[in-house]
Amino acid sequence: MKVAKFGGSSVASAEQFRKVAYIVQSDVERRIIVVSAPGKRYKTDTKVTDLLIQLGEAAIHGEPVEPFIETVVGRYVDIADGLELSAADFIEQMATDLRKKIETYRHDQSRLMDALKASGEDNNAKLMALYLRHIGLDAHYVSPKEAGILVTDEPGNAQMLPESYEKLRELKHRSGVLVIPGFFGYSLNGHIVTFPRGGSDITGSIVAAGVGADVYENFTDVDSIYCVNPSIVDNPRQLKEITYREMRELSYSGFSVFHDEALEPVYKARIPVCVKNTNNPEAPGTWIVAQRDHRDQPVAGIASDTGFCSINVSKYLMNREIGFGRKLLHILEDEGISYEHTPSGIDNMSVILRANQLEGEKERRIVDRIQTELQVDDIQIEYGLALIMVVGEGMERAVGVAAKATAAFAKANINIEMINQGSSEVSMMFGVKEEVVDQAVKALYDAYFSKQPLS
């Protein structure tokens, strides 16, 4: 069986609902579908989730809520009308529910927000089930509570509880097509709690792992995952297959198809993921798998991100000082700083981190602490760094992968500020100045992809 998750743009309008229905109908294995709230129908449109946040803020500030409720409900009315559905009861109920939630959670802002935000997915799942039944499918709305998605009680940051899996497994035995709203679960004391960013992906991934699906399909609005950000390289190569590890390395910097935490449940259950396009379901999409044959294509993709800085410290005889690195990292941890990499020489060590963590007083305090507590000879912070990840399962064993990259940088006359490649890795990291990062990514794309046949 397949679990198919449809993202916001895939369920934004009547037209999109029809496409989803077509996709569900065309494969009897698609037995569980997870839906997002209606997303944008056009570039300047507002997502229902954002409308619900506006509604919540109005309620919190004691402003009139009815206009906001009307706008939200209007989105669902449009979809129902476009589908020629008689959904008057459903629509009426939705408005009543929203008012009731505002009343119930009047004095608890975070619960109110969670309840309102979750309603976007919840109502869309109900509407989708209505529509699928309308066209003759044996479809059923299943609430996360009924499905068994139990989570920690942290509003906006729910983590799934492991006991969920037992209940989820039972979904396998239910007949028909089950429609489950994404983005939220229930705490043990019965509250709606939403997942962090990427929440519907998390639901889909949890459900797929829970029922032991053969495939977790993730329907979005692109034909595939690209090997490089299409806003940097025109019309880049599409990826047929990529491993979880590669996806995680890529999604970390500059690849936004997946929120990386969302993949954890299917990664652990070793369930293959297929990223497909709701608007072009015949396209093969991109498979995310545990292993791939990487002989012909050691490098899977190139990702980049800006906004990093490097804290560079040097001290004569540093490497004789047992505990130096640990103490330096301890100071950063103390100050709540997370870091990316720590390249080191014999008498020097650099810590690469996101620069926004050093705002305000923090930079001064960290520099002072490192100077005082570690008695370094020199400390400097270099801002304006970009990191580029060249990612691929085949890199570890392929002679010449690094040579290709460094030659590309040299040819483009780009200075490499940092290189970090470890023995167990599927990635090689390059640090460059932010000004040249796009140029560097283009040069790497040309080196690895442009002259090879499409895979």
Closer residue to a copy of itself in complex, CB, 105/267: 267
Closer residue to a copy of itself in complex, CB, 50/261: 261
What is the per-residue DSSP string for 239-308? PSEEEHHHHHHHHHTT--SS-GGGGHHHHHHT--EEEEETT-TTS--EEEES----SS-S--EEEEEEEE
H/E element, 30: strand 30-35
Closer residue to a copy of itself in complex, CB, 83/405: 405
Helix segments in 38-184, DSSP class H: 48-60, 66-82, 88-104, 109-134, 144-147, 164-169
On whether 221 is known to bind a ligand per the annotation, the reply is: yes
The Cα 156–Cα 198 span in angstroms is: 11
Closest Cα partner for 123 from 78, 164, 162, 168?
Answer: 78
Instruction: Write down the least CB distance from residue 232 to a copy of itself, Å.
Output: 20
Closest Cα partner for 246 from 296, 302, 306?
Answer: 302
Closer residue to a copy of itself in complex, CB, 117/245: 245
Instruction: Write down the least CB distance from residue 267 to a copy of itself, Å.
Output: 6
In angstroms, the Cα distances linking 193 to 73, 77, 150, 178 are 22, 26, 9, 21
The Cα 251–Cα 257 span in angstroms is: 7
Closer residue to a copy of itself in complex, CB, 399/454: 399
SS3 per-residue string spanning 364-405: HHHHHHHHHHHCCCEEEEEEEEEEEEEECCCCCCCCCHHHHH
Residue 440 CB neighbour total at 10 angstroms: 25
On whether 306 is known to bind a ligand per the annotation, the reply is: no
Closer residue to a copy of itself in complex, CB, 110/312: 312
Q: What would the two tokens of residue 89 be?
A: 């009861």
On whether 43 is known to bind a ligand per the annotation, the reply is: no
On whether 49 is known to bind a ligand per the annotation, the reply is: yes
On whether 243 is known to bind a ligand per the annotation, the reply is: no
Closer residue to a copy of itself in complex, CB, 23/266: 266
The Cα 385–Cα 383 span in angstroms is: 6
Closer residue to a copy of itself in complex, CB, 100/330: 330
**Residue-wise over 115-139: b if at least 16 C-beta within 10 A, else e?**
bbbbbbbbbbbbbbbbbbbbeebeb
Q: What would the two tokens of residue 96 be?
A: 């009543």
Instruction: Write down the least CB distance from residue 418 to a copy of itself, Å.
Output: 5
Which residues is 140 bridged to in the sheet?
178
Instruction: Write down the least CB distance from residue 238 to a copy of itself, Å.
Output: 23
Instruction: Write down the least CB distance from residue 53 to a copy of itself, Å.
Output: 25
On whether 57 is known to bind a ligand per the annotation, the reply is: no
Instruction: Write down the least CB distance from residue 357 to a copy of itself, Å.
Output: 11
Instruction: Write down the least CB distance from residue 303 to a copy of itself, Å.
Output: 10
Amino acid at 217: E
Instruction: Write down the least CB distance from residue 343 to a copy of itself, Å.
Output: 3
On whether 276 is known to bind a ligand per the annotation, the reply is: no
Q: Which residues does the annotation place in the binding site?
A: 5-8, 49, 121, 220-221, 226
Q: Which residues does the annotation place in the binding site for ATP?
A: 5-8, 220-221, 226
Q: Which residues does the annotation place in the binding site for substrate?
A: 49, 121
